[in-house]
Amino acid sequence: MNFEFSNDQKSLAEAARRYLDAKCSPGAVRHVMDTSAPYDPALWSGFAGLGFLGITVPEAYSGLGLGYLDLCVVAEQLGRVAAPLPFSSVILAIETLLAAGTAAQKRAWLPRLAQGQAIGTVALAERPGDLSPKSIHLSESGGRLNGMKLAVPDGQVADFAVVAGVSGAGNQGVSLFLVDLNGGGVSRTTATTIDPSRGHANIVFQNAPAELLGEAGGGWPVIEHILDCAAVITAFEQIGGADRALEMARDYAQTRMAFGRPIGAFQALKHMLADMYVAATLARSNAYYGAWALSTGASELPQAAAAAHITATRAFQLCARNNIQTHGGMGFTWASDCHLYYRRSALLALSLGGARYWENRLIAHMRQRQHSHVLIAGAEA
């Protein structure tokens, strides 16, 4: 694999970084937390004005018509500032509509999503634990949904949701349904999470009107593909956060004095910072592999996405945790910015199905790949 971002993509990343540095300080993130607001509307509006919400949306639907690599570099900048934005609207809702929506559904929602006039989400989980077709029980009958979804990302502010459910006895398999969350038959309660700057909600559907999205019974392959896409993009958000946490720890270790020396001169801190750097570098390598697979449509995408998500999750959690340790007692206080990244790292670790889903997915695809190699070798012999 020979992979590198283009100069245009690097320029896009710089533009996103300049805007976020100016508009999304740690104080802005704290304001969202302090006021229990689900996100920062002004920041969201500005992001939309720059076209960042519609990066992968075709120009025919008021988007920029760019690619996944462009979205990856912007996601990394969001991670650096722990941006309080409903990002699931971009990496889940938009991508699901692009993958499975009808022309009418795309016309109805994509322009509004790209311009920041609407927020979308995808509702999958119904219980804690591994995400699988067997875990989907929400039912559809006669164009009406009944059931509950837990911890829906940005669910309390979303205007619509793509909901996974089964029809009748469920013999057809999992289907996807588009639901107007501002319509009848929908009730939402805020779900308390470790990171209030990325809101979640539990949503109950009681005879809620819904329209089919994609083929009946064909929802699970779409879900897997969308989760693969989101995993790669989220991995870039995680390495952005990991890099920032590492920078914070490094800068503090260079300036905080103890026994007449910077604390970074002590071996214990050197090893801690080295471990953070190695983890972040490994995660970046896997994220680049995932970005290559995603942008080229390579068959390795499921395996690459799982590896990117697993290593980026571990790197972000390690860097966020060790950043607090490097800061000592101050790192545990509300006044320190360390907890902003610790919270975000913990939240993203639980997103997109959680660690078990991705570990199982990686193992399954590695076994499948090994089995294929054995069959090929046997045929050649």
Same-domain status, 260 and 374: yes
Percent of the chain with pLDDT over 90: 85
Q: Which of 196, 217, 238 is the last residue of a domain?
A: 217
Same-domain status, 172 and 189: yes
pLDDT tops 80 at residue 369: no
The answer to whether residue 346 is domain-embedded is yes
Pairwise CA distance, residues 248 & 217, whole Å: 48
Q: What is the DSSP pairing of strand 261-262 with strand 257-258?
A: antiparallel
pLDDT tops 70 at residue 1: no
Same-domain status, 106 and 24: yes
Same-domain status, 129 and 14: no
- Residue 41, amino acid: P
Same-domain status, 255 and 367: yes
Distance of CA 192 to the CA centre of its chain: 18
Instruction: Give the pLDDT of residue 169.
Output: 59
Is 359 within 8 Å of 129 (Cβ atoms)? Answer: no
Instruction: Give the pLDDT of residue 59.
Output: 96
The answer to whether residue 264 is domain-embedded is yes
The answer to whether residue 213 is domain-embedded is yes
Q: At 372, list the tokens.
A: 């294929």
Same-domain status, 211 and 224: no
The answer to whether residue 367 is domain-embedded is yes
Residue 279's domain comprises 220-380
Instruction: Give the pLDDT of residue 156.
Output: 94
Indicate the pLDDT class of residue 376, thresholds 50, 70 and 90.
Answer: very low
Instruction: Give the pLDDT of residue 372.
Output: 56
Mean pLDDT, the chain, integer: 93
What is the CATH number for 152?
2.40.110.10
pLDDT tops 90 at residue 377: no
Indicate the pLDDT class of residue 259, thresholds 50, 70 and 90.
Answer: confident
Instruction: Give the pLDDT of residue 263.
Output: 86
What is the CATH number for 249?
1.20.140.10
Same-domain status, 212 and 225: no
pLDDT tops 50 at residue 374: no
pLDDT tops 90 at residue 378: no
The answer to whether residue 321 is domain-embedded is yes
pLDDT tops 80 at residue 58: yes
The answer to whether residue 142 is domain-embedded is yes
Indicate the pLDDT class of residue 364, thresholds 50, 70 and 90.
Answer: confident
Q: Which of 174, 196, 217 is the last residue of a domain?
A: 217
Counted domains in the chain: 3
Does this model's pTM top 0.85? My answer is yes
pLDDT tops 80 at residue 351: yes
Same-domain status, 197 and 232: no
The answer to whether residue 58 is domain-embedded is yes
Q: pLDDT by residue (tens digit) across 139-155?
A: 999 999 999 999 999 99
Q: Which of 217, 247, 276 is the last residue of a domain?
A: 217
Is 275 within 8 Å of 350 (Cβ atoms)? Answer: no
Same-domain status, 47 and 135: no
Q: pLDDT by residue (tens digit) across 287-312?
A: 999 999 999 999 999 999 999 999 99
The answer to whether residue 1 is domain-embedded is no
What is the CATH number for 26?
1.10.540.10
Q: pLDDT by residue (tens digit) across 158-198?
A: 999 999 999 875 567 999 999 999 999 999 999 999 999 99
Instruction: Give the pLDDT of residue 4.
Output: 87
pLDDT tops 60 at residue 281: yes
Same-domain status, 329 and 365: yes
Same-domain status, 262 and 202: no
Same-domain status, 276 and 128: no
